[in-house]
Amino acid sequence: MIEVALTRFDVARYLETLLYLYVLLIFVRVLLSWVPRLPYNRLLRAVVQFVYDVTEPYLALFRRLVPMLRLGPAGLDLSPMVATIVLIFVGNLLVAIVRG
């Protein structure tokens, strides 16, 4: 029987990977917001819905704190940028604490 022992470095590396994956999902969410209508495809719709379901709870926290920037008749949502900066800062701090 093979035993697998996780070290603090393994946990920190796993946490860091999750952090960057979540930042990537936020980036994909921003890109998807620029495309008003995607062609219907069941697989594409499932992927888009997954990205929205995973990122919306975190981004909603920052939408309440960061008002939308008005540019004439249009608006610019800065909450993904602020949320990403906070996520990277807090995530890197947490990874450093886990590494020791």
C-alpha closest to that of 82 among 54, 63, 57, 56 = 63
Q: Which pLDDT score is estimated for 3?
A: 65
**pLDDT band, residue 4 (cuts 50/70/90):** confident
Over residues 6-57, the pLDDT tens digits come to 888 999 999 999 999 999 999 999 999 888 787 788 888 899 999 999 999 9
Residue 62: other Cβ atoms inside 10 A: 19
Q: Which pLDDT score is estimated for 71?
A: 78
pTM of the model: 0.85
pLDDT: which is higher, 5 or 57: 57
Distances (CA, A) of 35 to 30, 39, 89: 9, 10, 29
Give me the residue spans of the domains in the chain: 24-99
If you count them, how many residues does the chain have? 100
Q: Which pLDDT score is estimated for 30?
A: 93
